[in-house]
Structure 1
Amino acid sequence: MMPFLLAEFALLENKLPLYVYCVGSHEQKHLLRPDGYPTHQIFLSRSGTGIFRIAGSRDMVMSPGTMLILPAGIPHEYFADQSEDAWELGFVAFGGPTAGSILAHLGNQKATILKKTQFQLYWHKLESLWQLINLNGESGYWEASRKMYDFLLTILGDQTTEESNQRIKPVGQSNPALQEAIKFIHDHYNERLQLSNLARAVGYSVQHFHRLFVAIYGLSPMLYIQQIRMRRSIQLFEENPTITVEKVAQQLGMETSYFIRMFKRTYGQTPKQYFK
């Protein structure tokens, strides 16, 4: 547990474009906020189950491994599900001139189920914020601002990746030749694939193949291949926690340095940082 920490920091909110207002985690009791909260909030449900009730919306269940992002000023209440064990809820509240614009990119107010690795990463960032402020006092708030920005960018990056992954599944009937190309990619993603070879394999010119692929799948063939490789890398790391970065890169048919660069571009961190 991380006891509630309120950031009393000598009007630094007037100096910092993004600041931490409070942070912590505890066994959550019933809280009613008819006027909302003065700053934006991120909630992480670690164990047990709770109910979030937001004005004008259906009740939301927050089970272990879920996250909720709640803008400032929205009336709400939340409480533990009495039929479950104690509800451990982590939270961080943040504000500042840039907070609203960042929040606008983070989607609506719905409880989001996170992948195991995502939740562990987010909880680690929450703990880092708490420890930084708890140990360093006012001097820690400047670094906390940087860490909060990193936290928000990580969430945004993960959401963007998920949206891209969903676009891989096209709406409606796909072109049979492109379905063949997709099957070929999934069978040979760990080989050196070139756009010209893919186009030739399905009987299209490079230009027509690329244009048709983007129109149906919403991204280029080479970006599709990259996403397949990155998702496969996550699977490899999760299936074998002792596997090396070099071995994963080898199984994906990529040079190690290039793999690390593409992983960081996709997930915002190097593989070692991501799974630390």
Structure 2
Amino acid sequence: MPGDGLPAAHFAKKYQVLRIGGAMPVDEAGILEIFVGNPESIWAVKTKTKTVTPPGLRFGDASKPTGSAVGFLDLPGAIRQRIYNHELTVEHPVYLFQDFGPRVEAFAPDKPKWWIALLYTNRQISSEAKAVLYGNNNFHLMDKPQKHGTLLQSFLDCIGASNANSLSRLCISLPVTEKAEDPHTVTIRQDSLNSLALVHDQCTGLKTLEMQLCRENFRLLAEARGGDAQLVREALLRIDAQLKAISSVKKVVVRLYIKNLPSLIIDAMRGLAWAVLDG
């Protein structure tokens, strides 16, 4: 079903979330550190500071939830938000690709063992968790650049409109520009325009758009020389005009996968207020 979570649902099985049967400890940063176990275990909490028991609640043995145990949804919304942030935000990008057919796969190098188990609990927790999962992480398209349009469409279809609108960081291929019939002008290739239209229409909460530049998807820039300075500027200005139409985007990043890229290109990108980084 669209919107059920990350495409590679095999990241986590559906785990039963049991109630917290003990007091609610908070660490020095005020964050509850939880670990989702199997159906025989509970939500465990690790802390270095004293436990904090909400007034008016009675707790029993943490390993034996009682009738007065505190359910996860009984926690204040701010505490749940901190738990989601702690459990669902990963340091490295979430890499998206397609091996065979339309299925979208996802790989996150530093994900916790039960990373997205929270998405398979109940409707409210799943909804709250998805907003954090898609809003806090950086999603990178990793297939060949010419397949990025199809991959992007499949990914957005898979996660659904609500989750697509929650995306805040996305990395796609740098739009491809080519020389037009007039050798002194350039145009943006139609498949690149289609991808930008998808981002514009479906990723309404996007704040940072990253773009990959490699020789395979941008020969005009990769092979540019001093005499091509005007064409380079025109190509980048055309791309920049398309990016400015995505009003939610506040930061543009270009990741370079080409060695010894001419300085005139890097300078032109920085002149547009784009951040330029090695891939």
TM-score category by the smaller chain? under 0.3
Give the TM-score normalised by the residue count of structure 1: 0.28
Which structure has the larger Rg?
2
From the two aligned structures, give the one with the greater helix fraction.
Answer: 1
